[in-house]
Each structure stands twice: as C-alpha cells, then as structure tokens.
Amino acid sequence: MSEPSETSRVLEEGDLFFFYRPRVGKVEVESLEDVQRFYMVMATRRAGGRWFRMFVVGRKRLPDIQPGRADPNERNWAMVTLATSDPAEVRKELDEERYFTATRGERVVAAAKPVGEARYELVVHRDHTELAYTLELPEEPGPAQRELEIRNEASYVVAVRNPDIPSPPSMSGPRERPGYPERLAELFGGRRWISAEDVELLDYPHAQILMLGAREADVEQELGIHLEKEHESVNSAELFRLLRLRPTAVALEPLLEGTFPESEFPHASR
C-alpha cells in the first residue's frame, strides 16, 4: 500500500465517457488496427447546467502506465474537438457517417460505440495537474478496454500546448488554433507547455493536451482525493442520461461486457 500523498486541490469533477469508431467498412473490430478514432468526453457542471468537452485521442489509446513511476516516453496527446452545453452536438459527432466517392460510391462509417464510463477529477498535485478517473462501466476492464488502455483506475499528468509554438510531428491532425482570449493566451508566457490549472484552457476546440501516464493503483490515496464511484447499470448509466443516447440504438457489449460486438452495424442510426 502506498503512503498517502499530500492532499491535492480539486479543480473539476464529473463523468468521463470513452467511445471508439471503427474504420471505414469494418464490420467487426478485433484489434486497435480496426479502430479509426478513439474519443474521450468529459461531462461536468457549470453555472446554468452541464458542460461537455470532446477529445480525439492520438494513437487511438490512452498512455501506458509503468508501475511506480511516470515514464516520459509513455505519453500521448489529445485534441479538443468540441466544447458545448448541448448534448445533441456530442451525439452528432458520434453518429454514423456517410459519404460518397467517385470509385466506391457511398461509404458508411459506423457510429462510435461507448466503451467506458468513469468518474473523474482534474486536480492540482504538487507542481502539475492530473486527470484521475475510476471506471464504473464495465465493472472490470475487458479485452476492448485493454486494447484502448482503459484501466480500472488511473491518473495522467496533463499539460496544455502553447498554440503559438509549432506542434511536434507526432501530433498529427489539423493545425487550426484554439481561439484563446488574451487572458488565457498570456498564461503561456512563451512556454511550450503549461499545466491545466485554469480548466478554461480545455474549453476551446483545437486545444491540444499532452497526457503522461502517472499511476494506476491507489490513485485516491496517492492524490489525497475521493472519486465517488457508483455501481452503474444500463438503466442508471450517466452516459445515456446526460448525452441522451438511447440504449437500444447502440451496441452495449463494449460498455457492459468489455468486448467488441460481433457486428459494428447492428442498429439503425439514432
């Protein structure tokens, strides 16, 4: 058992949802190679209601975690693709996609599937910020979660990239800049990375964060926090309540059983 750490300061708490989207034309996902996108959605409270942030996660998985240490070589990036108070906008991003090509005609990309629900906290710990979570659904990580490095509990050091400094080649994707107001832009002070202590830095599409695997056991004790884990079911899951998804319209095997479904096209569009 680890010795308790000094108490961290909680910046924000809420629900954390994970989704994956299969590659174009893939009927069955067997490994990470069959995954097109991996998403992370934060749902927190703001004055007046809920606030959602959607990230696309690089390398289609969370960073690996080495027991007992934060390995700087095991890091990954994520980019904010949506920040909104409207769950309909999140659903639209997750929905089935259709497009046409001159050679193959209509192409269909299956809807993104829920593959995890967790409780999270963003905290200040020593001189950095960490994203900590504890998994609620499925009850235990299965093959689908292991493929995406979703753990029973984990925390990651989180840093926000300065949009004025070119991103490294490993951070692929569009180069649009987040529309930070002057107050937030000044926080960088010429530094390449800063902590996410001001959580509003995460509220702008195209903001990029770096995640470094920190710990996967005794997270609450080491950070001095309490993650209010609940025993969820398909009837009580916050994912369906907050995002207003219909359980009958999505494949539930990844979320409830931890396995990829036999077919990525079992249901009609929402």
Amino acid identity, residue 3?
E
Return the pLDDT at 2: 39
CA angle 176, 19, 249 (to 5 degrees): 120
**What is the spatial distance between Cα 140 and Cα 117, in angstroms, rounded to a whole number?**
11
Indicate the SS3 state at residue 266: coil
For residue range 187-203, what is the model confidence (pLDDT) as tens digits?
999 999 999 999 999 99
Q: How far is CA 79 from CA 54, 156, 163, 209, in A?
A: 8, 15, 12, 6
Amino acid identity, residue 66?
Q
For residue range 61-120, what is the model confidence (pLDDT) as tens digits?
999 887 655 566 678 999 999 999 999 999 999 998 887 777 877 778 889 999 999 999
Domain segments of the chain: what residues? 9-257
CA 219 to chain centroid, in Å, comes to 18
Contact criterion met (CB below 8 Å) for 30 and 247: no
Contact criterion met (CB below 8 Å) for 124 and 223: no
For residue range 192-248, what is the model confidence (pLDDT) as tens digits?
999 999 999 999 999 999 999 877 767 777 777 778 888 888 999 999 999 999 998
User: Which DSSP symbol is given to 73?
Assistant: T
pLDDT band at 261 (very low <50, low <70, confident <90, very high): very high
